[in-house]
Structure 1
């Protein structure tokens, strides 16, 4: 199997416009936004920023974004401009915004100055938004890929603020924290979910989706994304399995070993719910560990089910050509739902 990549590149906003295509399909749903005025007015000397944050008893939060990214706008609107998370962030973090396509110069240390774009590449920032949390010594202690709703983000903030990242995974922390929570997510059904849990020797494309009873975005994901007919079509094009991330019931894995969903979450370090890991020939090819709207999600599935990853080294390059193909047919692309 050639050109297998470890993660999907979700820049989430196509790097082209519809102008110039003969049949005028249009791309809509990209949203312009501004970052809050209270973000740190940094000279982008990270060592100095870390030292200043330490004096204030805070950690560093690097917020990576991209122009017109609808997921970035939603994340900022719901968590940084308003809501209870805003004060929590202001009290505990020094926030520095970084544009993954930007050209501002950033100094990580005295002998190293690179552009925002180069930093994003160096840190393997593949999603927008991406949030990197740094401790008071400048060490990256946790990475959040993609959008989180306010409840999930509040849980993550508490996990970092209380230093529980030193003791356990976010998944285990969430499970322990909500043990007595009577209001839990009730697992929803879908016609595309398969019940095949014996994956030993299975060589075809597989999507494994992880949910749990504490998932705050799972119900909405079913209602707004999985209910989409085009998404359902792509789900049926491969083996689509849904697992309970908290379950300790073992299943037969691709290599013949027995492993529980709970252990799989830890093995693959999946912190997002509903997270989806995409496999082919028994190996991970890509994953969805941040919120995606229908268009990006269905194309992420098609990228694997059609084995386009063998032609395109990254999802981003695949998506650019795929979107151009759709636009040429006069079909509009909405990035926002």
Structure 2
């Protein structure tokens, strides 16, 4: 099996300690619960959390079920609610195509899953491999997950994703193909590749077999504003540079026809590998260990703490003891703060 922590596919966030410091007027009094709670829109559906019934109810109205997994103190959840869902056209698209139900990935409410079993919100989130928040799962009428957005998609990409899934285009083309067809957001139009990084043609099976260092693969494209931000800001920071030097690094253009050999010995075009890997968002960072296979990947929009945190997670081998990235990042944030280091989660 390739994955120690299964990746997820339609990609566009992370952890209990994510919330920026709140003002005194926003901070809850001692004894209250849910610090960092962001009120969802009133049009989200309140249900008994029987997933089978929710799917049937949505289908009866010609819509699909979207489950929004969140956690308190998640700044990316806040951006989804306050930025994306504050725009009327996004609200209209979402309500046209989906019934939206929210689930706390650490919650204790009772959920009836697709097998008819009664489990907690936390157990249900774990069973569908939620690693980031927000995570959005979209179900078809038969109960299959047809699309998945891991993390935060900025408004432009989110609109396109809603159309792609709502119009049921997943069998016609990949999301990157659809995104390219309808038009991407403004960006530099160039790939950010360093001289010391590998680019196709390469044989990553030889790299994996000949190294004891983790492999980091960047899946990117030219027209990608998030790639621009990652490479011109986050990865040029001193702490990021030190972490990058501990990886073997390969860069893959998701549209390239150049041939490569994957870590598992399969030879194909770069664009075919991106499709085979279900790359839905750029940049996607895939972390592969020589012994453990694919450990984890980042999909969606992340700032410095989260990018560096995932690199630490892989380099330290912490994933072997703590399979839940959220808990690892939570502990890491507290550790840094105990050392007197400010943790600005959106810096």
Same fold, judged at TM 0.5 (above): yes
Using a 3 Å threshold, how does the CA distance of structure 1 residues 144 and 220 change in structure 2: closer, same or farther? same
Equivalent residues of 1:193, 1:241 under 8 A apart: no
C-alpha displacement at 1:51, in angstroms? Answer: 2.9
C-alpha displacement at 1:67, in angstroms? Answer: 0.7
C-alpha displacement at 1:46, in angstroms? Answer: 2.8
Gaps of 5+ in 2: 19-34
**RMSD between aligned residues:** 3.1
Structure 2 CA distance, aligned partners of 1:113 and 1:213?
46
Structure 2 CA distance, aligned partners of 1:200 and 1:105?
45
C-alpha displacement at 1:119, in angstroms? Answer: 1.4
Structure-1-length-normalised TM-score:
0.83
The answer to whether the aligner puts 1:90 opposite 2:100 as a matched pair is no
Corresponding residue number in structure 1 for 2:74: 69
The answer to whether the aligner puts 1:302 opposite 2:312 as a matched pair is yes
Residue among 145, 151, 160 paired with 1:146? 151
Equivalent residues of 1:193, 1:242 under 8 A apart: no
C-alpha displacement at 1:143, in angstroms? Answer: 1.2
Equivalent residues of 2:156, 2:185 under 8 A apart: no
SS at match of 1:165: coil
Residue among 250, 271, 292 paired with 1:262? 271
C-alpha displacement at 1:74, in angstroms? Answer: 0.8
Matches within 5 A, 1:1-337: 4-7=4-7, 11-14=14-17, 31-108=36-113, 111-178=116-183, 185-189=188-192, 194-195=197-198, 197=200, 198=202, 199-202=204-207, 203=211, 204-281=213-290, 283-310=293-320, 312-337=322-347
C-alpha displacement at 1:40, in angstroms? Answer: 1.0
Equivalent residues of 2:199, 2:252 under 8 A apart: no
Using a 3 Å threshold, how does the CA distance of structure 1 residues 59 and 314 change in structure 2: closer, same or farther? closer
Using a 3 Å threshold, how does the CA distance of structure 1 residues 309 and 40 change in structure 2: closer, same or farther? closer
Equivalent residues of 1:188, 1:222 under 8 A apart: no
C-alpha displacement at 1:122, in angstroms? Answer: 1.9
Using a 3 Å threshold, how does the CA distance of structure 1 residues 314 and 144 change in structure 2: closer, same or farther? same
Q: Deviations over 1:240-294 (max 9, x none)?
A: 3322111111124335543322122122212121101012227322211122220
Gaps of 5+ in 1: 16-29
Structure 1 CA distance, aligned partners of 2:109 and 2:195?
46
Structure 2 CA distance, aligned partners of 1:75 and 1:273?
18
